[in-house]
Chain A
Amino acid sequence: MPYDQQEDTPDDALLVLYANGDGSAARVLTLRLTPRAFAHAFRMLGDRAEAEDVAQEAMIRLFKQAPDWRQGEAKVTTWLYRVTANLCTDRLRKTKGVALDAIPEPEDGAKSAAQEMQDRARADALQNALATLPDRQRQAVVLRHIEGQSNPEIAEIMEISVEAVESLTARGKRALAQALASQREALGYTDG
C-alpha cells in the first residue's frame, strides 16, 4: 500500500501489513508511535538518553510481536504504553533516582528567552516533583494529565480498575501540590 494512503490506517492494521512484509507500514508506525513511547519514557525517567533506549526497545518489541498480533483485541498504544512503562520501572529499580541535571538544554529558539526560561523552570519543577512520587502514582498522573489518556484506557494499560486509577491520580496530584508548595512564587504563581 502506498505510504500516503496509510496515514489514516489504524495501528493494528498497519502491524498486520508490516507482518506481511509491507515496508511502508514500518515507516508509518515508527513515525507515529516512537515519539509517544519516547515522551512517556522521558516523563517517567526524566532522562533523554535513557528514554531513547527505552523507546527503541519498546518499538522493537512491538515489531517482533507483529506476526502474532490479534486484531481487535487490544489497542496498539495501550500495549506500547504498558511495555514502555514496564521498561521504565525496571530501569528506575536499577538506578533509583533521576539525574535531572543531566537533561540537555532545549533546542527550541522560537519563544522569548524569559518565557523559555520560565517554561523550562516549570517543566523541571514538575519533573522533580513527579520523581518523588511512587512509580504507579507517577505513571497514572503522567498518562492522565500529560499524555491525555482516559481513565478506562489507563486502567487497561496498568491492568487495574478505573476506581484504582482515580485513586492513584487523586493521591498523585495531592502529593505533587505538596511537593511544589514551597516553589509556587518562584515559579510565578501567586495566591490571591
Chain B
Amino acid sequence: MAEKFDDDMLDDLFAAARNDSRATPSPDLPARVLSEAEGLQVAEPVPSAPPLRPSLWAALVAAVGGWPALSGVAMAGVAGVWIGVASGTTFMQNTLGLDIYGETAQSYLSDLDDTYAFDFTAEE
C-alpha cells in the first residue's frame, strides 16, 4: 500500500519535472551553439579525395623523360635495325642484310646458322 503510494507520488513528481520550465534552455543557447557549428563548418572543409597513386609503368615512363623521350628511343631502335640491314656485310658477318634488302635474292635461315638446316642423314 505504502509502496503504491510512493510510486504514485514519484510518478507525479516526475511529471512535474518534465513540465518544469527551467529545464528549457534560454533562446541564447541554440544561437550560440549554431554560431559555433557554422564556424566549425567554415574552418574544417571536407577534404577532397587524395590523388591516385601512379602505376609502375607510368613511373618508368616519367623516369626516362615522359612519352616524347620514349618515342625518341623507339625511333633510334628502328634506325639501328635499318642501318644494320642496309649496310650489307659492313656490320653483319653474313649476307642476310643484303638478302633482305635485295629484291631478287632468297634468304634461308640455314645461311644464318647451320643448326637450322635439315640433317637428312640423321634418320638413316
Interface residues of A (CB under 8 A from B): 18-21, 23, 26-27, 29-31, 34-35, 38-39, 42-43, 48, 51-52, 55-56, 59-60, 63-64, 67, 103-104, 106-108, 119-120, 122-123, 125-127, 145-146, 148, 173, 176-177, 180, 184, 187, 189, 191
Contact = CB atoms under 8 A, between A and B. Distances in A.
A23 B12 CA distance: 41
A43 B10 contact: no
B5 A35 contact: no
Question: By DSSP majority rule, is chain B's interface helix, strand, loop, or mixed?
Answer: helix
A127 B37 CA distance: 32
Question: By DSSP majority rule, is chain A's interface helix, strand, loop, or mixed?
Answer: helix
Interface in B64-119: none
A67 B44 CA distance: 9
Nearest to B38: A26
Q: Which of A125, A146, A148 has the most CB of B within 10 A?
A: A146
Interface of B: 2, 5-7, 9-14, 16-26, 29-30, 32-34, 36-38, 40-41, 44-46
Contacts of B46: 19-21, 67
Given A59-B33, A145-B11, 10 more contacts: A27-B34, A30-B33, A31-B30, A35-B24, A56-B29, A60-B36, A64-B40, A126-B17, A184-B9, A187-B9
A42 to B, nearest CB: 5
Contact of B38 (A23, A42, A67): A23
B37 A52 contact: no
7 contacts: A21-B46, A30-B30, A51-B25, A59-B36, A63-B36, A146-B17, A180-B10
Contact of A18 (B14, B20, B32, B41): B41
Contact of A122 (B13, B29, B37, B44): B13
A27 B38 CA distance: 9
